[in-house]
Amino acid sequence: MASSGGLQQRKPDLEFYLHRVFRKTSFRPLQREVIAAVVEGHDVFLQASTSFGKSLCFQLPAVISNGLTIVICPLLALMTDQVNALQAIGVPVQTINSSTPLEERRLIMDDMLSGHPRTRLLYVTPELCQTDSFRRNLSTVHRQGQLTRIAIDEAHCISEWGHDFRPAYQELSWFRKDLDDPPVPITALTATATPRVRSDIITILGLNFAKLKLFNTPSARPNIHYEVRYLQNYDEDDDISPEDLRVQDLLAWLKAIKRRQEARIGADTAPQRPPMSGIVYVGLRATSEELACRLDSEEMISAVAYHAGLTSQDRTRIQAMWTSPQPPPQSSDGKPPPTFSIIVATNAFGMGIDNSQVRFVVHWTPPRSFEGFVQESGRAGRDGRAAASLVYYNTQERDRIADRLMRDADNVRNRGGPKSHVAGLLKNQMARRESYQKVVRYCETVTKCRHALIKDLFGDYELEEMGSQQPPSVYGGARPDRLDPSASPCDYACDFCKEGPSGLAKRKGKMQAADALYGFMMDQINDLREDYG
Ligand SMILES: Nc1ncnc2c1ncn2[C@@H]1O[C@H](COP(=O)(O)OP(=O)(O)OP(=O)(O)O)[C@@H](O)[C@H]1O
């Protein structure tokens, strides 16, 4: 590891390792700077958009350093994906999690405590880091001078103000408090942190502000076309149900894509292409099953459901099928090869899913949290090519979700328990409502580019003011609010910039306003804020 010795150390050739070990041709903008800061031994906070390549920012430094890097990861699937990918390229990596056999665990620990561990990266859960035995072992590795750094992936899970709050993440404060002689450098990474969550990450982990290097990329993804599809509210007398209305609209949208593809590459060539992948996010398991079945009955679509009610084998199978390269198109059940391959999923399918070829992500109803929305829509276009995010929205759905969130908070209050525990849970409930409030702002605003709106809602500009480093190409050197107001900050990659304010307002106008319940929820947030804010 680089240290501040008298002799100048030779800087490692990062490009060499990028090509040789990771088999990538070049760094993405900002990746090199982040990796250099990590290698130099700084505490690093990186907030980068989904699919930026955050993992490389701790994997490459781990490969070129002596000693062990501990990686904290919240999801087994995410951990397994990364470990398998690293093993496939010959990196000495291990994981200890609930499915690691005892004998294997012992071998990993023996290596860790050997004084010269062969393992470069050890992936663990935050819960394991809470146990006395693991902490004792890590302290020994540290005393032996072999604990190089700690990487905390999905660091937003640390905050009660975050959408994926995980109490065990808060206990990660132990690293800075106990492993302090010398302090072990920490790298915290996330795609979705609001200003309050960022402040919690930095404070709880005890990152050293004087030596901390901050980096960020814009939270909105330039290659994603963001669009809200406004639906009319449903009336008992209507001949068509809201579900049918959405199915009709989605099918019409997909047919238009199919027509454009056939016009571009020819109706004979199109069926030989692998199907276009998409995800439709729904709120309920039952909806996921029903909608998958309904879409699958269409000739141009093959669809499958994914939710937490499936067996773990089924989920692993679907995820593996989904993330492996698409096979040549095949007919099944007498159907011609599908043009679209769709997974209809609940939010059990989200964080860390890395299929580079997803072309569209649809939210069947308004997402329940803004950070969740950005994570989920960020599954699209991970190869950098054009992709789309659609959200179906009307005020009835908006109020139904607002009502559910209010009831969740009431349940927490009525459940009782120690006062500080209830206060913590209520704080998290308030954070959820505030996050939902941002979803509503995102969907109902018709006067601003959606890319700019996402950056506003995540407080990207605040990070800039804190001295965060960004890729040089961001905003072309000027913030969008300082650019020519007639230009599109996102290069026409959202419905506002494409249709203009009046076109969008007209489309939104078809949706009836019904503000009563939503307004009530906002009042409640304000009350809670007075108590806990
Ligand atoms: N320099 C690079 N060149 C080419 N591909 C890269 C580069 N860096 C990372 N990738 C690839 O980009 C993909 C996304 O990387 P990764 O999973 O680390 O993203 P992430 O930033 O953690 O995203 P998310 O927050 O959405 O999970 C991976 O397939 C990875 O191999």
Residue 241 Cα, ligand 1 centroid: separation in angstroms? 41
Per-residue H/E/C for 503-526: HHHHHHHCCCCCCHHHHHHHHHHH
Residue 169 Cα, ligand 1 centroid: separation in angstroms? 23
CA–CA dist 389, 324 (Å, integer): 22
Q: Which residues of 459-493 are buried (b: 16+ CB within 10 A; e: fewer)?
A: bbeebbebebbbbeebbeeeebeeeeeeebbbeeb
**Is the minimum distance from the CB of 354 to ligand 1 under 6 angstroms?**
yes
CB 93 within 8 A of CB 68: no
Residue 77 Cα, ligand 1 centroid: separation in angstroms? 16
Whole-number pLDDT of residue 330? 61
CA–CA dist 500, 478 (Å, integer): 22
Chunk the chain into consecutive blocks of 10 residues (it has 533) and report each block's average pLDDT, rounded to whole numbers: 45 92 95 97 95 96 97 90 94 94 96 97 97 96 97 94 88 95 96 92 92 92 96 76 90 95 81 87 95 95 92 83 65 74 86 78 95 92 94 92 85 73 78 92 95 92 86 52 60 93 90 58 62 55
Whole-number pLDDT of residue 477? 41
**Is the minimum distance from the CB of 56 to ligand 1 under 6 angstroms?**
yes
Whole-number pLDDT of residue 476? 41
Q: Which residues of 283-293 are buried (b: 16+ CB within 10 A; e: fewer)?
A: bebebbbebbe
CB 474 within 8 A of CB 217: yes
Residue 369 Cα, ligand 1 centroid: separation in angstroms? 24
**Is the minimum distance from the CB of 28 to ligand 1 under 6 angstroms?**
yes
CA–CA dist 64, 85 (Å, integer): 17
Residue nearest to atom 27 of ligand 1 (CA): 352
Question: Which atom of ligand 1 is found nearest the CA of 22?
Answer: 31
CA dist list (Å): 185 to 82, 131, 312: 22, 21, 36
State pTM to two decimals.
Answer: 0.85
- The complex scores an ipTM of 0.98
Contacts of 348 (CB under 8 A, 6+ apart): 306, 307, 308, 315
CB 81 within 8 A of CB 355: no
CB 74 within 8 A of CB 126: yes
Whole-number pLDDT of residue 290? 97
CB 433 within 8 A of CB 521: yes
Whole-number pLDDT of residue 480? 46
Whole-number pLDDT of residue 1? 39
Whole-number pLDDT of residue 229? 96
Per-residue H/E/C for 99-136: CCCHHHHHHHHHHHCCCCCCCCEEEECCCHHHCHHHHH
Residue 382 Cα, ligand 1 centroid: separation in angstroms? 8
Q: Which of 14, 32, 51, 187 to mutate to test the pocket of ligand 1 (most atoms within 8 A of CB)?
A: 51
Other Cβ atoms within 10 Å of 221 Cβ, number:
27
**Is the minimum distance from the CB of 352 to ligand 1 under 6 angstroms?**
yes
Residue nearest to atom 7 of ligand 1 (CA): 53
